[in-house]
Amino acid sequence: MGRIPCCEKGHTNKGSWAKEEDKRLIAYIQAQGEGCWRSLPKAAGLVRCGKSCRLRWINYLRPDVKRGNFTDEEDELIIKLHSLLGNKWSKIAARLPGRTDNEIKNHWNTNIKRKLLSKGIDPITHGPMDDRKTNNELDKSPELNLELRISLPYSSP
């Protein structure tokens, strides 16, 4: 048995948020604070799912969310934290004020990983890349015998 759905999926807006919806969500949270995300949309006069409201607030509308490119210092900190914590994006985000876990994860996957690879650094182990491994062993998949034979069933004498 699961949870009761927070909203009727057929009666909610999906897709891009309108400026008026953003204003309503901001006004409601400034007046009432963050509370029960399941009941917030109805109380704020929004035709959205509670999860959608929560994600919109956390990732875009919070006043402390940083906008713009990551600095070199932020990149270095992300690399150091990733070497210690792995893909624990929320724990990494907790040490980068104003940056969201999702934003950091996307930045890692689109920018930092490439930068490390171009410098010959393995983004998983954070150690030097072993050229022999990357070129020879990882590119080859194990050989499979896909030969099919049809024969009569074996019967013992």
pLDDT given at position 143: 67
34-65 pLDDT, tens digit per residue, is: 889 999 999 999 999 999 999 999 989 999 99
Please report whether residue 110 resides in a domain.
yes
Which one of 42, 61, 80 terminates a domain? 61
Q: What distance in Å separates the CA atoms of residue 56 and residue 90, rounded to the nearest whole number?
A: 17
Please report whether residue 54 resides in a domain.
yes
Share of the chain above pLDDT 90, in %: 69
Please classify residue 102 by burial: count the beta carbons closer than 10 Å to its beta carbon, then call 0-12 exposed, 13-18 middle and 19+ buried: middle
Q: What distance in Å separates the CA atoms of residue 33 and residue 47, rounded to the nearest whole number?
A: 19
Please report, for the domain that includes residue 42, its CATH number: 1.10.10.60
